Amino acid sequence: MRHRIAGNRMNMPEPRRRSARRNLMAGLIRYDRIQTTEARARAIRGEAEKLISVAVKGREDARKHLASVVSDEEQATKVLEFARKGRFSLKHSVASNEERAKVQKAPLTDKGRKFQEDKLKARREELLAIFPNENEAEKALQAAYHSMVIELHARRLILSALPDELVVKKLFEELAPRYLGRPGGYTRITKLGRRKGDAAEIAQIALV
């Protein structure tokens, strides 16, 4: 009896099965298509589509949150690129050596202080070139940081199931934008006939 056993067990021990599923899903996402037995293709199809759905939903939720604050799409793209460079606020300033000593930081030399001030000034000018109004700029930047947190949560969910940074990067940078607005159905299985030797059904599973 197969009570409480969901999906195809692929006729192998659990640790080996888990590794095989991860490798097959990573190959599918990395190369867009792979050939394997029909049983294995069907075994990974549901989980692969679920991971793509998590990426699409994470990307869409992040985009919607930013769009709720920044309605202009071009400005939203620019402020998100700006936010990815690191934490910043228009309220930031270079702390004095006395303030740095209180938090156990080394004092800055005159050259080091000038470098930090020039860096802050350049970032300030870059942000204000996108949003001339300081209040709007600050709100847009905080919204961009929050949208990054939303996407980061989705990335971590996928990494827990498929620990491959390059595959997750492709999921968010290539596949999520491709499938925005598509309600599932990201893969297609095509039968290719029988394999010589053991006559196993061979199939190709590919991203639509």
User: Which CATH number is 166's domain given?
Assistant: 3.90.1030.10
pLDDT higher than threshold 70 for residue 101: yes
pLDDT higher than threshold 80 for residue 12: no
| 5 domain residue, yes or no | no
Whether residue 151 contacts residue 62, with contact meaning beta carbons closer than 8 Å, is answered with: yes
pLDDT higher than threshold 90 for residue 28: yes
Average pLDDT value for residue range 25-33: 94
pLDDT recorded at residue 62: 95
* Degrees to nearest 5, angle at CA 98 with 92 and 104: 85
| 164 domain residue, yes or no | yes
Separation between Cα atoms, residue 208 and residue 45, nearest integer Å: 12
- The b-or-e profile of 90-128 (16+ CB within 10 A means b, else e) is beeebeeeeeeeeeeeeebeeeeeeeeeeebeebbeebe
Average pLDDT value for residue range 51-70: 95
pLDDT recorded at residue 17: 84
| 8 domain residue, yes or no | no
Separation between Cα atoms, residue 137 and residue 8, nearest integer Å: 52
| 1 domain residue, yes or no | no
| 6 domain residue, yes or no | no
State pTM to two decimals: 0.83
Helix (H) or strand (E) holding 155, with range, is: helix 134-161
pLDDT recorded at residue 16: 86
* Degrees to nearest 5, angle at CA 183 with 180 and 188: 100
Task: Count the alpha carbons within 13 Å of 122 in the hemisphere toward its beta carbon.
Answer: 7
pLDDT recorded at residue 8: 57
- Domain around 192: 14-207
| 35 domain residue, yes or no | yes
| 175 domain residue, yes or no | yes
Instruction: Look at the chain and report how many structural domains it folds into.
Output: 1
pLDDT recorded at residue 6: 60
Mean model confidence pLDDT for the chain:
91
Separation between Cα atoms, residue 18 and residue 10, nearest integer Å: 10
| 2 domain residue, yes or no | no
pLDDT single digits (tens) 163-208? 999 999 999 999 999 998 888 899 999 999 898 888 889 999 999 9
